[in-house]
Structure 1
Amino acid sequence: MEDKAPEFGVVDFTVFIGMLVAVTAIGAFYAYKDRNKNTLVNYYFGSKKMSPIPVGLSLSVTFISSITVLGYPAHAYMMGTVVAWFGVASTIQVFIACVYYIPLYHRLQLSSVYELLELRFHRTVRLFASCLICLHSITHMGFTMYLTALALTAVTPMSMVLSVLVTAAICTLYTTIGGMKAVVWTDTLQSVIMLAGSIAVFIKVAILLGGTDKIWEAVERGQRNTIWDFNSDPTLAHTFWTIVGGEFSWTNAGCCNQAFVQRYQSCETVRDARIASIVSAIPMSLLLIIATMNGCAMYAYYEGCDPMTQGKLKKVDQTVPYLVMEIFYDVPGMAGLFVSAAYSGMLSTVSSGINSVSNLILEDYLVTCFPNWSDKTKLNVSKLLGIILGTLVTCMVFITEALGATIIKMAVTVAGAVSGPLIGVYTLALFFPWINGLGAICGMAFGFIFTLWITIGGMMYPNPEKLRMLPLSADNCTLYTSNFTFAQTHPTTVFMEDLNSDRPYLADTLYAVSYLYLGAIGLASTMLIGLLVSFITGFQRAKDCDPRFFVPFVDNKCLPFKVRNFFRFGVPELLDEKKPPVEFTEKTSEELNGFLAKTPEIRNSAEKPDGLDVTTV
């Protein structure tokens, strides 16, 4: 290859700025179009009449951030094709959400997802959960924006400060003025850009190397075909079992996250919400699998001439933009498309976070303190909250840059400690009617503290061998030289530290457990303590449980009555959401089924079936 000095040219800037203008225009369009619909329902839920297709695409890119576009290819570059299992793990939560959670949320129509915890247990449980997710969301948004700006300022003339301020301002603007509709439709545009940019990288490398078979041959030579790694050792960072078996962070996001619940409720019916959830799985899994393929392509392109080994890069996450600038040096606009793809992932994450967190703060804290606020006041406060949150996220980026490891480790720590306890307390709330409020708060607090302890211990006593980084080489660099330098004045933080010679026993046992199992540990510990405390302090009687908040594990009407009755655990059956529940007996079930088989006119009237023996709770 000839020496080349790639630059981010005029066409690349045009493509990138065009993307930013487009997302801003979408926000302005919906702000103008809905100028006479100044309601919270329209602002946060898109009037609850949105199409499931764009909602599904929005759900997918809410899951997938710029870390996916930049970080997952780097994972595959270092660890091989085992990373592809993330594409499978991300879809499991779709089944759980469709069967259990989406019907519940549409039945209750809650403004805040954590209001369910107050209705089911106590306000303290709601506030604790809401506080955890707000802190996590703000740190995660700042972390995502920082890593994106850090990786991409090196391949563009934009400085860190300019990059952060421009993107934060635009993201805050279209989210604040356009509400949920702007977020959903910009996410839809961004999902297309992310797919196009990611696919373009793989196709270009395949062309340069002479076909996809050359990529897979290099993968085999480099021992990176690790997709069939079924090692059951829980301390190994990435295997089939740790990735697929430890996917509770995905389940928490898809089932108990405010950003997702708002989108489910923005659909008019349960059926539309389920379609949106299923649609989301397609681009989500595709992007993760393509990211793995890009990691393999990147290895094949740099086989024997790793830029990190050469000293051109300081962190593996910088390899993807470095590759893009090299392979598209002679194709104007393509580098701009990839930069737009990475920024799109960041914008979708931040915009969704700002919209959902502002709703949580309004509903969980402010409305309680100021119950007499009018809808217009609430809407104005919501927009002000959006601006404040955008400012906080921007400040978090610069704090992260100044303090380095401190904030980044905090973000990673909180993320690992939050997901398991939250899905754990929701599992207790929905499926176990005898759990009381004290059991719920103790279980969630213990689960959070326990997983936080494990996470901190793992960072204090890391073991790089458990990551199983595959070898890289620069032995063949004499065959290829490049004048392209990767100017990086602010290297990203390296999480792994030198092994401490004085290691406690837990350092290579409990602390060494894969970070992907933290969600499962948090779930199990939350449920165990919740059940134990409820048993000690006195189980709540199942027959006193409000059936609106209960979801049976099995409730298929095709199954025998005894099976369905067993999984109700004594909770009354809810015949109509607007009418009192009845005790669920076999006689009641048979007579009710006969009554419901009558004509719609009779079913909708006040007529009752003769001799229906029910006991109102």
Structure 2
Amino acid sequence: MTGELSWMAEYAAFAVMLGLSMMIGLYYGCVEAKQNTVNDYLLGGKHMSVFPITMSLIASHISGITLLGVPSEIYSNGTQYLIIGFINVLVIAIIIYIYLPVFYELQLTSVYEYLEHRFDTNIRGLSSLIFAMSLILYIPVVIYIPALAFNQVTGLHIHLVTPIICVICIFYTTVGGLKAVVWTDAIQSVFTALSIIIVIILGLIQIGGVGNMIRDNQEGGRIEFFKMDPDPFLRNTFWTVSIGTTFAWITQLGIHPGAVQRFVALPTYNKARKSLIYFVLGMGVVKLLTGTIGMLIYSKFKDCDPILANYVESDRNLLPYYVMAVAAKFPGLTGLFISGIVSAALSTMSAQLNTVSGTIYEDFIVRMMGIKVSELTASIIMKCTVVITGMICVVLVLVVEKLNGILQMAISLSGVTNGAMLTVFTLGICFPWANSRGAMCGMLASLGIMIWIVAGAQFAIINNDLKFVEKNVSIAGCPANITFRNHTDFSGLDRINEDVYASPNVWKIYTVSYMHYSTIGTVVGIAIGLLVSLLFPVDQNIDPKLLTPCIRKLMCSEYKNKQNLNGLKTEEYKPVTQDTKL
């Protein structure tokens, strides 16, 4: 009877979260019934407030990749990754002073419309296509990881869990639009926060407090924040994490359609700026909390590594296994944890589906196909796009099952396109002499080089020609009657540095830190884009509104920025020409 009550408590916590998500979608889609225009569906009618937008941004960036990946990263490789919580302050400044003023002033439904105004339709089309494909490939990863956790805790098959999660997410995203996405994200973030906090409290109680946790991790060599070696081939150092994170997060916050869409949905520029600041502060707290869980996992299993002891298959199973170990005596807590993991996945998936529907509609259906429809028909088209995209993502989960790793895999995959996207927008916003030919060459060069590097590294990893050194673990406290898994075998591989072993057949570039993928893609793309633009100059008239404010002042002394971004007053601007002298 006790076991049955525990089972019911676990599923009740999960059902409450899913039920609330569906109710919000029904409310905004049926009761309020104001999602029948493009503006309402994508921008919430520009009546959103700072709190739900901030919570939505945080929730949409806290996927199962964060909740499961960061603790396993800390457990296996130490705390160096957590330095990103401080580096994000630099990211805020860059976005606020360079990217956000341009996009908020233009008030574009699709951020890729900017590229058509600044360059041409070919640049816009290619960028939109790359973005749409990257999201369709990313969403299945987001859904699969929490489904795996749900499977480990409840025993339900992954292929049964993923369709249920996806159908609910597709439903409230389709019916309710941005308002439903934002408010469900805000509520789901509560489930996520509760699950994280409760797991931390229970873990600290079991090991005897924060002091014991810090001591255990120091003795185990886990705590390090200022590994200052500049070698770009070391997996995690202060420089690889800080520089790589800066480029990656500028892409995710400064030019990502989902983030820009939410900032534009706010009624004033000051509120958009506040939302960005609060978001980065919130993400810093989340990284700290998930990092703490990783340290707690090490304190709990410092004498018996669950992977070597064959208790779990890989590091992606560490957190669910840990939660079951510390929360088994409390009915409902494991269900709350699963609700938090699934909530994170739902919020990320809903945000991406809403974003990709707007991108496909604006950049392909309207622009490329030249179809002009009523606002009601446009809303229906975007809702159908959400449904179709969601169904594709459910099918692609079958492919994601074959992939290995969590955090490194996710960062590596995003690194393929991050550089190309940041290249084209930075060329447009910061370099008035950059032209469409240069932007196209820079973007394609970045994309091609990063596909080569990332694919080469991943194939080397799959073939066991590239292996990474993790922190030492112990099996001294494990039961004597179990069969242990073999340690990583580095025989036949050359030691590249203290973190990496590679076969002599592996090219040196494949061993560069995965954190630098976005950095390399961006630097290469901008360099080639500027070089081509200078070699093949084109006469062009550029509206100063397409340039970041500091560049406007440098390029056109006649231009005086009297525009109040809060009120969005319009003014005639003198175009900046290719021949303007600095």
Fold conserved (TM > 0.5)? yes
2:555 aligned with 1:568, yes or no? Answer: yes
For the pair shown, the structure with the greater C-alpha radius of gyration is 1
Distance 2:150 2:227 in 1: 33
Q: Among residues 558, 573, 577, which one is paired with 1:581 in the alignment?
A: 573
Q: Counterpart in 1 of 2:261?
A: 262
Distance 1:407 1:91 in 2: 25
Distance 2:405 2:73 in 1: 23
Task: Provide, for residues 343-393 of structure 1, a one-character-per-residue CA deviation record: whole Å limited to 9, x for no partner.
Answer: 111111100010000000000000121432111110111111111111111
**Where do residues 412-431 of structure 1 align in structure 2 (5 Å cutoff)?**
414-431=413-430
Task: Provide, for residues 9-68 of structure 1, a one-character-per-residue CA deviation record: whole Å limited to 9, x for no partner.
Answer: 211111111111111111111112331552111111010110011101111122221111
Three-state SS of the structure 2 residue aligned to 1:510 is helix
Distance 2:62 2:235 in 1: 20
2:547 aligned with 1:550, yes or no? Answer: yes
Deviation, structure 1 residue 97:
2.2
Deviation, structure 1 residue 414:
4.3
**Where do residues 44-83 of structure 1 align in structure 2 (5 Å cutoff)?**
44-83=42-81
Distance 1:466 1:238 in 2: 14
Distance 1:20 1:496 in 2: 44
Q: Among residues 143, 167, 171, which one is paired with 1:173 in the alignment?
A: 171
Q: Counterpart in 1 of 2:349?
A: 350
Deviation, structure 1 residue 157:
3.0
**1:175/1:182 contact within 8 Å kept:** yes
Q: Counterpart in 1 of 2:102?
A: 104
**Where do residues 172-191 of structure 1 align in structure 2 (5 Å cutoff)?**
172-191=170-189
Say if 1:361 and 1:100 are closer, same or farther in 2 by CA, change over 3 A: same
Distance 1:138 1:48 in 2: 27
**1:547/1:571 contact within 8 Å kept:** no
Distance 1:284 1:172 in 2: 26
Q: Counterpart in 1 of 2:497?
A: none
Say if 1:398 and 1:406 are closer, same or farther in 2 by CA, change over 3 A: farther
Task: Provide, for residues 84-135 of structure 1, a one-character-per-residue CA deviation record: whole Å limited to 9, x for no partner.
Answer: 1132344543222222222212211111101111110011111111111111
Say if 1:136 and 1:222 are closer, same or farther in 2 by CA, change over 3 A: same
Distance 1:499 1:190 in 2: 48
**1:110/1:116 contact within 8 Å kept:** yes
**Where do residues 192-591 of structure 1 align in structure 2 (5 Å cutoff)?**
192-247=190-245, 248-368=247-367, 369-401=369-401, 403-404=402-403, 414-462=413-461, 467-478=468-479, 507=506, 509-540=508-539, 544-553=541-550, 565=553, 567-568=554-555, 572-573=559-560, 578-582=570-574
Say if 1:499 and 1:85 are closer, same or farther in 2 by CA, change over 3 A: farther
Deviation, structure 1 residue 333:
1.1
Three-state SS of the structure 2 residue aligned to 1:112 is coil
Deviation, structure 1 residue 413:
5.4
**2:70/2:407 contact within 8 Å kept:** no
Three-state SS of the structure 1 residue aligned to 2:334 is helix
**Where do residues 143-158 of structure 1 align in structure 2 (5 Å cutoff)?**
143-158=141-156
**1:136/1:411 contact within 8 Å kept:** no
Say if 1:6 and 1:431 are closer, same or farther in 2 by CA, change over 3 A: farther
Say if 1:418 and 1:22 are closer, same or farther in 2 by CA, change over 3 A: same
Gaps of 5+ in 1: 486-494, 556-564, 585-614
**1:359/1:382 contact within 8 Å kept:** yes
Q: Counterpart in 1 of 2:498?
A: none
**2:316/2:405 contact within 8 Å kept:** no
Deviation, structure 1 residue 568:
2.7
Three-state SS of the structure 1 residue aligned to 2:511 is coil
**2:50/2:272 contact within 8 Å kept:** yes
Gaps of 5+ in 2: 495-500, 564-568
**2:143/2:345 contact within 8 Å kept:** yes
**1:83/1:238 contact within 8 Å kept:** yes
Say if 1:63 and 1:569 are closer, same or farther in 2 by CA, change over 3 A: farther
**1:61/1:284 contact within 8 Å kept:** no
Three-state SS of the structure 2 residue aligned to 1:234 is coil
Three-state SS of the structure 2 residue aligned to 1:394 is helix
Deviation, structure 1 residue 234:
0.7
Give the TM-score normalised by the residue count of structure 1.
0.84
RMSD: 3.0
Distance 1:33 1:325 in 2: 40
Higher mean C-alpha displacement, 251-260 vs 141-150 = 141-150
Task: Provide, for residues 509-552 of structure 1, a one-character-per-residue CA deviation record: whole Å limited to 9, x for no partner.
Answer: 322111111111111111111111111111546xx321110114
Q: Counterpart in 2 of 1:127?
A: 125
Distance 1:571 1:217 in 2: 62
